[in-house]
């Protein structure tokens, strides 16, 4: 079955994730991209928000996860975000990219990311 996708890109929130004490104390900005896979036909047929995923609510929930309980790894953060997205009944699969643009790396770099895909199945 073919699914549709709703994407949210560049969600920003400050979190205190990382293994270094300074990351936990000072915090840093994390950027999250999401692709939510779902069947939008029921919502489109009835023009009914309750038959799809409310991306505004998802954005607020992702921000809360990033601002929430600190974890050492961005892998763990990405998993928590994916788990939260899959709690929405309409979402069948999610791709999560967590960007850590201010990672404490001693050489020049543009970004550090983790990308995961999770599904109900």
- Which residues are catalytic, by number? 100
| CB distance 102 to 28 below 8 Å | yes
Residue partners of 70: CB distance under 8 A and separation at least 6:
15, 16, 17, 18, 24
Structure tokens at 94: 């999610």
Task: Please state the separation of Cα 78 from the chain's center in Å.
Answer: 6
Taking the C-alpha atoms of residue 8 and residue 33, their distance in angstroms, rounded to an integer, is 6
3 sits in the region (left: phi over 0; alpha: psi -120 to 50; else beta) called beta
């Amino acid at each position: 079955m073919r699914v549709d996708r709703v994407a949210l890109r560049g969600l920003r929130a400050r979190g205190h994730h990382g293994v270094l004490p300074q990351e936990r104390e000072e915090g840093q900005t994390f950027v999250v991209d999401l692709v939510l896979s779902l069947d939008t036909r029921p919502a489109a047929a009835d023009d009914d928000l309750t038959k799809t995923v409310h991306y505004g609510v998802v954005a607020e929930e992702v921000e809360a996860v990033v601002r929430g309980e600190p974890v050492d790894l961005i892998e763990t953060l990405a998993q928590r975000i994916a788990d939260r997205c899959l709690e929405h009944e309409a979402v069948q699969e999610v791709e999560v990219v967590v960007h850590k643009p201010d990672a404490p790396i001693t050489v020049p770099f543009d970004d550090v990311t983790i990308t995961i895909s999770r599904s109900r199945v």
